Amino acid sequence: MTTLLIDGLPPTDDDLRYQALVNYGAYTSFRLEGGGVRGLDLHLARLDASAIELFGEPVGEDRLRDLIRTAVADRGDAWLRVSLFSPDILPRSPSADVPPRVMTSVSPSPSPLATSVRAQIRTCVRTDAHIKHTAIFPLIRARRLARQAGFDDALFADPDGLVSEGATWNIGFLSGDTVVWPRAPMLDGVAQTLIKAKLQTVGLSSGSRPVFVRDLPAFDGAFLCNSATPACPITAIGDHVFAAAPDRIERLARAWASNPVQAI
């Protein structure tokens, strides 16, 4: 069962009508573990930055924490999505600068996306790619087309072949004990940031540079990461097959897990 609240209260018909008809907003999502969240500070900072950029007003960390605590109630483990929207912003009159309203959705924790993934390259660059916004039609469409073509998921590249991100995840490439993060317009994921922060503790290093589809043979592994799936091997991208790298995937998962769970 999913519990939905808006500003800490059950949604009204008008609230839901706006959500159904206007697709303008931002969100973040994360796993609640033992009453806390890994990288909670990063999720809250993402929301506040998105609020200022999309609505002209901050939402405020204290308000976000209060609403998350209300949504969580006495749950110790769950999946949360925290979304920002404003009924004062409409397709014909989008100019208002207002503090956004906050919608919280609490549901059972999902399983990881997969244990391994074969990805199809799809030509796509998300609009305002640095924002985790609610316009997810191209993401769902790309994943659907990839699966219809016999793959598991979609990896985005621009028309020149510059690789950016997956449908709902970041990608890292492996070159020995170095993780190479692609440099392109994309969302900097929280899981990606948490892994980066702890790589040295598991004997790995990292760097960032533009990665093109033509560069795939230069790497000996690849993986995806997001808040539901800290580290999952990518076994193929298009026709290019990567060898299994279980030791390095395990070390990536340990890097993510070594980040502390932060209290709400």
- The pLDDT assigned to 244 comes to 85
Whole-angstrom CA distances from 173 to 176, 194, 241, 245 are: 10, 16, 13, 11
What are the structure tokens assigned to 112, written together? 């990881």
Sequential DSSP letters for 37-74: EETHHHHHHHHHHHHHHHHSS---HHHHHHHHHHHHTT
- Side-chain-facing half-sphere of 78: CA atoms under 13 Å: 19
3-107 maps to which CATH number? 3.30.470.10
| Owner of token pair 């469409």 | 141
Sequential DSSP letters for 103-120: EEEEEPPPPPS-SSEEEE
- The pLDDT assigned to 62 comes to 97
Number of DSSP helices (H) and strands (E) in the chain, helices first: 6, 15
Strands (E), the chain: 3-6, 26-32, 36-38, 78-85, 101-107, 117-123, 153-157, 163-166, 170-175, 178-182, 205-209, 221-226, 229-237, 240-241, 261-263
* Helix-helix angle 246-257:190-198, to 10 degrees: 100
**117-259 shares the fold of 3-107:** no
| Owner of token pair 């009159």 | 93
- The pLDDT assigned to 155 comes to 98
Give me the amino acid identity at 172.
G
**How close are the terminal C-alpha atoms of the chain, in Å?**
22
Domain ranges of the chain: 3-107, 117-259
Count, residues in the chain: 264
What is the C-alpha separation between 138 and 142, in angstroms, rounded?
6
- pLDDT per residue, tens digit, the chain (264 aa), is 899 999 999 999 999 999 999 999 999 999 999 999 999 999 999 999 999 999 999 999 999 999 999 999 999 999 999 999 999 999 999 999 999 999 999 999 999 999 999 999 999 999 999 999 999 999 999 999 999 999 999 999 999 999 999 999 999 999 999 999 999 999 999 999 999 999 999 999 999 999 999 999 999 999 999 999 999 999 999 999 998 899 999 999 999 999 999 999
| Owner of token pair 């193929």 | 236
- The pLDDT assigned to 27 comes to 98
Task: For residue 202, give the DSSP letter.
Answer: G
117-259 maps to which CATH number? 3.20.10.10
